[in-house]
Amino acid sequence: MTMSLQRSAARGVVPTGLGLVARLVIQLLTVVVLARLLDPRDYGLVAMVVAVVGVGEILRDFGLSSAAIQAATLTREQRSNLFWLNSAIGAAIGLVVFALAVPLAHLYDEPALVAITRALAVTFLLNGMMTQYRADLVRAMRFGAVARTDVLAPAVALLTAVGLALAGAGYWALVAQQLVQAVVALVAFAASARWLPGRYDRTAPMRGLYRFGRNLLISQLVGYLANNVDSLTIGYRFGAASLGIYNRAFQLLMNPLNQVRAPSVTVALPVLSRAGISPAFDQIVRTGQLVLAYPVTVALAVLTGVAVPLVAVLLGEPWADVPPVLRLLAVAGIFQTLSYVGYWVYLARGLTRDLMQYTLVSAAIRIACVVVGSTWGVVGVAAGYAIAPMLAWPISLWWLSRVTPVPVRSLYGGAGRVLAVGVVTAAATWLAVDALHAANPWWQCVAGGVAGLLAAAACAFVVPALRRDLHTLRHAGRAALRRPRPGASPVPGPS
């Protein structure tokens, strides 16, 4: 059972990883292409709506997708009930958001927000209907089907947005992008899942699922407020243009980073939920941290060094204020990623109440840092956003260790090695870019990237502990590429 769970986790990485690469390409194209067709104000207007009404997406899910994936058993009646509940919540929130369009426009003193908000309200119903179809595919470990739709939907949405932007639609191109992505995702997930919901069954046992979802919902709401206090603060204090600058940095870095981290939950949650308290669980968590943290940290360390030439290449002159914000967000991303494995453990072991309590603490830290940082403008907000996870990360694993067995010492040690490699990588990248400061930005990016990667590789070959980590990564890669035996069923499927 131990080896079969590890193989299932590894094999889930292949389709998820391929889908991730495709989504990152789409995300990059979205940022680069649309940034040259639209101006900062267009992005700022849509960001104002997304920052406020995006909380509805969390309410719409109600934590029930994770509840369905994590449950030991899930009957057809329970699955249908969850579908109708998510759809009803989505419809209700859509109506509320529609009604809040005028107050939101008054809050920001931007009349255009009325139409934008009302149009985006439709996405809540569409995403509510989609929720349990996607959860069902993840629960069944059909990672390929999930990855295909996760690529198809944003790709079609991007093509739509580019076409409208070229036609002069302005911020409506971004609104249409959101709507098209929701429609395509719903249709594709439903077609892959191949089931239709039955009637709502009042006799089906739902209390445990609702309890799990309720606690997770509170955690997600608090986390959402903390994660968006930066955008809310900038939009309120500095206006749409400043928020557009910050939003471009955020989109260039944090959205692709979330595309990396979110699929890790897709793979880890169903596997860890079946592992229970066992050596397999600890091994998957330790390996998962290294597999997730090393590539992300090295990539973000390189990004800190090439921020100026990279922005010049990708976005152009109007976005010259983005690099300092981008660097600080990269630091935030590294520490957020290090603490992400704890989120897997909370969900897999059903510890949503404890997750809620920890989220309250980490949210207070972030809000305080961002609000204080806003004294120094947009860059100060970004600095506060970066400092917050640096303070919260050491607390996260200690907090988790209080409530469940977890290999804390190994996770702290692994994180320390990851950070050391990141520092060396960032320094080498910055030195290479600085040496070529008069060269073409393309060459600065290439030279900085090569120098950073060579420095990271040198660390891995010189330091024995890092060589062992490299061996772990190679072993995980081979396991991910190994084909299962015909007819094998590595993990008991969901009921």
- Could you write out the DSSP letters of every residue in 366-411? HHHHHHHHGGGHHHHHHHHHHHHHHHHHHHHHHHHHTTS---HHHH
Choice between 92 and 24, residue whose per-residue pLDDT is larger: 92
- Report which listed range, 197-211, 214-228, 231-245, 404-418, is most confident: 404-418
**Residue 51 pLDDT level (bands cut at 50, 70, 90):** low
Question: What is the C-alpha separation between 231 and 48, in angstroms, rounded?
Answer: 8
Burial class (CB in 10 A: 0-12, 13-18, 19+), 392: buried
Between 65 and 204, the higher pLDDT residue: 204
Statement: residue 433 has pLDDT above 60: yes
Instruction: Return the closest-CA partner of residue 211 out of 375, 401, 350.
Output: 350
Determine the Cα angle at 234 with ends 233 and 239, to 5°: 125
Crossing angle between the packed helical segments 122-139 and 76-99, to the nearest 10 degrees: 160
* Range 101-121 average pLDDT: 88
Has residue 54 got a pLDDT over 80? no
Q: What mean pLDDT is reported for the chain?
A: 82
- The continuous run of DSSP H or E covering 3 comes out as helix 2-37
pTM: 0.66
pLDDT at 288: 85
Q: Give the mean pLDDT of 210-229.
A: 75
CA distance 59 to 86: 9
Helices (H) and strands (E) in the chain, counts: 20, 0
The top-scoring range by mean pLDDT among 218-222, 244-248, 290-294, 348-352 is: 290-294
Q: Sorting pLDDT into bands at 50, 70 and 90, what band is 275? A: low
Confidence band of 28 (pLDDT split at 50, 70, 90): confident
Residue whose tokens read 């595309």: 259
Q: How far apart are CA 415 and CA 394, in angstroms?
A: 10
d(CA 426, CA 58): 35
Q: Phi/psi class of residue 316: alpha, beta or left (left: φ > 0; alpha: ψ in -120 to 50)?
A: left
Between CA 328 and CA 330 the distance in angstroms is 5
Is residue 385 within 8 Å of 369, Cβ to Cβ?
A: yes
pLDDT for res 16: 61
CA 197-200-206 angle, 5° bins: 105
**Identity of residue 294:** Y
Distance CA 114, CA 118 (A): 6
Cα–Cα distance for residue pair 153/190, rounded to 1 Å:
13
pLDDT tens column, 366-375: 999 999 999 9
Span 313-339, pLDDT tens digits: 888 777 888 899 999 999 999 999 998
- How far is CA 270 from each of CA 214, 352, 397, rounded to the nearest angstrom? 20, 16, 21
